[in-house]
Amino acid sequence: MKTKDISVIVNGEEVRASVPVRRNLVDFLRTDAGLTGSHVGCEHGVCGACTVEVNGATVRGCLMLAVQADGATVTTVEGFAASGRSAALAAAFTRRNALQCGFCTPGMLASALGYIDRGGTADRAAIREHISGNYCRCTGYQSIVEAICDVIEERTAP
Amino acid sequence: MSVAKPLPHDSAPLHVTGQARYIDDIPTPAGTLHLAFGLSTVARGTIIGVDLSAVRAATGVVAVLTAADLPFANDVSPSNHDEPLLATGTVHYIGQPIFCVVATSHLSARKAARLGKIDYAEETPILTIEAALAANSRFEDGPRIWSKGDVDAALTRAPHRLQGRIEMGGQEHFYLEGQAALALPQEGGDMIVHSSTQHPTEIQHKVAEALGLPMNAVRCEVRRMGGGFGGKESQGNALAVACAVAARLTGKPCKMRYDRDDDMIITGKRHDFRIDYDVGYDDRGRVQGIEFTQYTRCGWAMDLSLPVADRAMLHADNAYLLPHARITSHRLKTNTQSATAYRGFGGPQGVLGVERVMDHVAHALGLDPVQVRQVNYYRAAEGGLSAPHRPAASPPEDISGTKAGQDGQDMTSRGAAGGGQRISSGTGGARRFGAEHSPQAEDYGPNTTPYGMEVTDFALHAMTDRLLASCDYAARRAAIAEWNAANPILKRGIGFSPVKFGISFTLTHLNQAGALVHVYQDGSIHLNHGGTEMGQGLFQKVAQVAASRFGVDVSAVKITATDTGKVPNTSATAASSGSDLNGMAVQAACDTIRDRMAACLADLAQTTPDKVRFAEGRVHVGAEVLSFAEAAARVYVNRVSLSATGFYKTPDLSWDRIRGQGRPFYYFAHGAAVTEVVIDTLTGENRILRTDILHDAGASLNPALDIGQVEGGYVQGAGWLTTEELVWDDKGRLRTHAPSTYKIPAVSDRPPVFNVALWDQANPAATVYRSKAVGEPPFMLGISALLALSDAVAACGPAYPALDAPATPERILTAVQKVRG
């Protein structure tokens, strides 16, 4: 099995590992970096449970190889929480009951942050469009859209 | 009092920070091995050659197991012992596990599992209803038939009569967390199993059988699942048993998780159904007599198919008083995945059958389908249901079945907390009603279901009225007709559907639950019960019950993982029963401890226990006020036990499933929905535009969590009937085995306008704090989406659409062309 040495900045810390070249980014995060907050749902880029941020872009952890992240900066749900970046969103998801089993939540937060931090507005249709690549089987999504709206409205409130 | 508060999910702080652990997130000891199954590639045949040499030689492979290597029982069936873990000579569906690879990594196990060379003597698989009927391939000796009245005479006598058929597809659970298990071998041959399961006791049981051990040597633990929906009631058995057997053989911890494709190919799904109907009715659409014939493909093994098919029969009436009815059910054995539990457990299929009939009859008469439904409703309960929390009339019998006084007392009198909701003094007494309140009374006989159960708590008359008013149904229906007249390409439709869902396991002995509660000397509370958390918020609702009994804040209650070593002989968390059963068991345990504390503290203060009151984190002993912690410490020092078990069994059930007679349910939960859609008549493309729901959760234990169940249930139900299509090819291969080809609702499929409200009235039955079960009933509200689509198609021409499910764009387009003639 061919391996390659890589170095990735994960949640602000450098992680060095020798990884099989076909290892997905999400498997690297879960196995080599020990960060199990990013979940594996479908492993072919549809469900969104593995969504993380790579160099500021919202990325499917199962559609990117770990070796492609060599030298990159990756942020996972644990990093969003530790830095406080997701604090308002986490509070809104909790308050709105925008989670049930919680398995989709880390990926949902990553996608939502990508929308909010790029200046997304509290336009429900636009929010729906943006997170339509993240499946949730439990909530029916109503509360998720409302939670994201809450955060944007709080931020833009005069 | 914490009960009835809309508190967030107890795990929310962990979910939003990535700390919540699912099976695959549990740190494993070094040397943990990983498993994968090698699967049958033919749907039916005999294995004539097995060459696993390439599997054994593959990188990372430690062991390869076949049926011959299993030391004891080779069975993972929840019912009939007809489901070997690994195939024994014959194969019965594409995806059946034949061998099991044990390897050093998940990926190497999966890669090696593809290298097996199996030769088969193939036989023609039985894949369809027709093929199964032709071969008489079925479970049980013949169809089950239940009847009420004289159906044939009623059909003959009726002024109008029509026949029809509806086909409805199955449904993949698509829990976001796939099936997973982890087995950790212990000293002396014991085994600990972590499993993503709704049924830890069954995991314990099947693992014990497979290891040749008594159940006390196996402990199963589950903190949470990443979704279950019924798919983890029995389908986790194979992984847990395989891990335990491999752990026993290798001495190493073993873990297995299905990747998504394997999960969809191997595990069972919702039963697909065909329902034929023959109905006689009058000019108002009032059903005089009706006959249903239900056919379902159960797949290759029995699993839970008998109770699923029973529940489809039990819900063939849904909300309607059918004076003469016959229901015939064929449980067909096919060479496909073994269909299994899925939210509603056959109920949705039975309900959809009669909802189709109502829609068809309304179309034939040119009447509003809502009116036809209202004419056919069961008669309302006398008075009680329009008055919230109204004490029941004199109870006809004591149905409490719990320790004396528990149900019948004002809860505050025992010091739980002040200012809360009073539980009525009746114990289900509102289950008598007066026929004189209904104009249909004399015409349609007693208010009984086709299985002979009197309906005494029917709430849908008032609920329907309120919902129709709040969603402005009549005006919108008129506006839609006008809009359709002006728009030749796009057509709108509106649909209404009610649900009346029976609450209790139909296998009566499953209606029991246990709990274990400890109060520590610092006043903190440790809570454990037999229910499992799959996202529904059960743990929080039960914790709210515990906190209310002790008069403390819910934060004082530590919720712990379900563990067969703490509470034994649990029933699956299924049938919507989680809060009803476990809430009551926890209440009993808490009350035992509270009574001991009260007795001890009263004794010390030379007063009587009734002078001890638990409220707002304090314990009032006469004039003295202690913190709950001080009270616990004082009781501990006085050598009184602060630990108790609790037990509950649902009262007043009796059921004969062969005769189809009895009282299988403790009560009914209700709901009603109106959905509006638009279709494109050139492509069949469609959208849900608006949904309004009024749902009956009794006196809700937690309105926020309950509304979450209603919203999620509706969207999942609408998904079943619109986008979620399972396709098998003529070899029996499931061609939709990943989300790339199987479409569950995304956020963009959710109705943009989605109004959900709870019908917040106390349950007449003496449930925990008069709440109602809420897990499954709202799923059936998704039927309103299918009816709305049918209504939109009906706007295209004179014929009845007879829209099958799922109503994919392809089916809608076909139906549009058909109604145009």
| Residue B191 pLDDT class (50, 70, 90 cuts) | very high
User: Minimal Cα distance from A48: which residue of B?
Assistant: B176
Could you tell me if A101 and A39 lie in one domain?
A: no
**% of chain A with per-residue pLDDT over 70:** 100
Write down the pLDDT at residue B436: 39
Find the CB nearest B259 among A39, A43, A135. Answer: A43
Between CA B240 and CA B781 the distance in angstroms is 35
Half-sphere exposure of A43 (CA within 13 A, CB side): 15
Question: CB of B351 within 8 Å of any CB in chain A?
Answer: no
Query: Residues near B380 by Cβ (< 8 Å), separated by ≥ 6?
Result: B433, B437, B438, B458, B459, B461, B462
Residues A55 and A104 in one domain: no
| Cβ atoms of B553 and B547 closer than 8 Å | yes
Is the C-alpha dihedral spanning B538, B542, B544, B545 positive or negative?
A: positive
H-helix segments, B338-472: 347-365, 369-376, 460-470
Question: Is pLDDT of B391 > 70?
Answer: no
* Nearest in space to B234 (alpha carbons), one of B197, B187, B264, B279: B197
* Amino acid, res. B557: V
Residue of B772, B663, B668, B770 whose CA lies nearest to B426: B770
| A-contacting residues in B 242-271 (Cβ below 8 Å) | 259-260
B691: nearest CA in chain A? A142
Residue B741 contacts A, CB cutoff 8 Å: no
- Do A59 and A109 sit in the same domain of this protein? no
Residue of B176, B194, B692 to mutate, interface with A, max A Cβ within 10 Å: B176
- Interacting residues of B478 by C-beta distance below 8 A, sequence separation 6+: none
Within 8 A by CB and 6+ apart from B321, the residues are B376, B377, B378, B379, B440, B444, B447, B448, B455
AA identity, residue B95: G
Q: What is the mean pLDDT of residues B243-254?
A: 98
Q: What is the pLDDT of residues B549-599, one digit of tens each?
A: 999 999 999 999 999 999 999 999 999 999 999 999 999 999 999 999 999
**A150 chain-B contacts, CB cut-off 8 A:** none
- Among residues A79, A96, A126, the one where a domain terminates is A79
B60: closest chain A residue by CA: A1
Choose the final residue of a domain: A49, A79, A109. Answer: A79
Distance CA B116, CA B100 (A): 10
Chain A hits for B232, CB-CB cut-off 8 Å, are none
Split at pLDDT 50, 70, 90, the class of B821 is confident
* Cα B458 from Cα B643, distance rounded (Å): 40
Domain that holds residue A22: 3-79
Q: Chain B closest CA to A81's CA: distance in Å? A: 5
Q: With an 8 Å Cβ cutoff, are B18 and A47 in contact?
A: no
> Contact, A49 vs A109, CB < 8 A?
no
Domain count, chain A: 2
B294/B315 Cα distance (integer angstroms)? 12
* Percent of chain B's residues with pLDDT above 90: 92
What is this structure's pTM?
0.94
My answer on whether A34 and A92 are in the same domain is no
Question: A96 with A139, same domain?
Answer: yes
Query: What value does the mean pLDDT take over residues B470-478?
Result: 98
- Chain A CB within 8 Å of residue B782 CB: no
Verify that A69 and A90 share a domain, yes or no. no
Q: Which of A11, A24, A46, A142 has the most B C-beta neighbours within 10 Å, making it the best mutation to test the interface with B?
A: A142
Nearest to A124 by CA among B710, B679, B751, B718: B751
Instruction: Tell me, yes or no, whether A98 and A30 share the same domain.
Output: no
CATH of the domain at A68: 3.10.20.30
Which whole number is the average pLDDT over B416-421? Answer: 34
Say which DSSP state B94 is in. Answer: T
ipTM for the predicted complex: 0.98
Quote the CA–CA distance of A131 and A109 in Å, as a whole number.
10
Same domain, A75 and A90: no
Q: Is B230 at the interface with chain A, CB within 8 A?
A: no
Burial of B466 (0-12, 13-18, 19+ CB in 10 A): middle
Give the integer Cα–Cα distance in Å for B353 and B287.
Answer: 14
pLDDT digits (tens, 9 = 90+) for A27-83: 999 999 999 999 999 999 999 999 999 999 999 999 999 999 999 999 999 999 999
What is the spatial distance between Cα B314 and Cα B572, in angstroms, rounded to a whole number? 20
Tell me: the pLDDT tens digits for B312-326? 999 999 999 999 999
The answer to whether residue B776 is catalytic is yes
B712–A140 C-beta distance less than 8 A = yes
Residues of B in contact with A36 (CB under 8 A): 18, 21, 24-25
β-pairing, B180-185 vs A73-75, is unpaired
Average pLDDT over residues B210-226: 98
Give the strand pairing for B160-168 and B273-281: antiparallel
| CA B604/CA B636 separation, integer angstroms | 13
User: Same structural domain for residues A9 and A53?
Assistant: yes
Burial B424-438 (b: 16+ CB within 10 A, else e): bebbbbbbbbeeeeb
Q: Please identify, among A79, A105, A137, the residue that sits at the C-terminal boundary of a domain.
A: A79
Domain with residue A105: its CATH number is: 1.10.150.120
- Report the largest interatomic distance among the alpha carbons of chain A, rounded to a whole angstrom: 57
Q: Which of residues 19-38 of B touch A (CB under 8 A)?
A: 19-22, 24-25
